[in-house]
């Protein structure tokens, strides 16, 4: 299974997750705090993360990300982005 390294709060946590899950789902399932004000529907940007490694192992940017102005690497909306392989994610803290 793909490995996801989360950098958050000065810590690093590595978890294994099923291909096809979103970064937000994986974070929440793993007890990693990640904001998600709109409930994971792509309408808020509070779940935005930075992809430190493995951008090529993520689903392509979708219309909701484009509509919210999340158009430039390394930024992605965690609720709209599915994993396909190993990635390293920096969680943005508010």
Does 58 bind ligand FES (CB under 6 A)? Our answer is: no
Does 79 bind ligand FES (CB under 6 A)? Our answer is: yes
What residues pair up with 90 in beta bridges, in sequence order?
7, 50
Does 92 bind ligand FES (CB under 6 A)? Our answer is: no
State in angstroms the smallest separation of the CB of 16 from ligand FES. 23
State in angstroms the smallest separation of the CB of 8 from ligand FES. 16
| Total of residues contacting ligand FES (CB under 6 A) | 12
Find out whether 91 and 35 touch, Cβ atoms under 8 Å. Answer: no
Q: What whole-number distance in Å separates Cα of residue 8 and Cα of residue 19? A: 22
Closest CA to 17 of 90, 82, 91, 71: 82
Find out whether 56 and 86 touch, Cβ atoms under 8 Å. Answer: no
Q: Which of 2, 4, 27, 40 binds ligand FES (CB under 6 A)?
A: 40
Q: Which of 45, 57, 59, 88 binds ligand FES (CB under 6 A)?
A: 45
| Torsion sign over Cα 53, 57, 60, 62 | negative
Chain contacts with ligand FES (rule: CB under 6 A): 36-38, 40, 42-47, 77, 79
């Amino acid at each position: 299974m793909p490995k996801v390294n989360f950098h958050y709060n000065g810590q690093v946590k590595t978890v294994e997750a099923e291909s096809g899950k979103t970064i937000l789902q994986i974070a929440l399932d793993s007890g990693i705090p990640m904001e998600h004000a709109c409930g994971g529907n792509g309408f808020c940007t509070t779940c935005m993360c930075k992809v430190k490694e493995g951008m090529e192992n993520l689903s392509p940017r979708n219309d909701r990300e484009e509509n919210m102005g999340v158009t430039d690497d390394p930024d992605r909306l965690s609720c709209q982005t599915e994993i396909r392989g190993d990635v390293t994610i920096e969680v943005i803290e508010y």
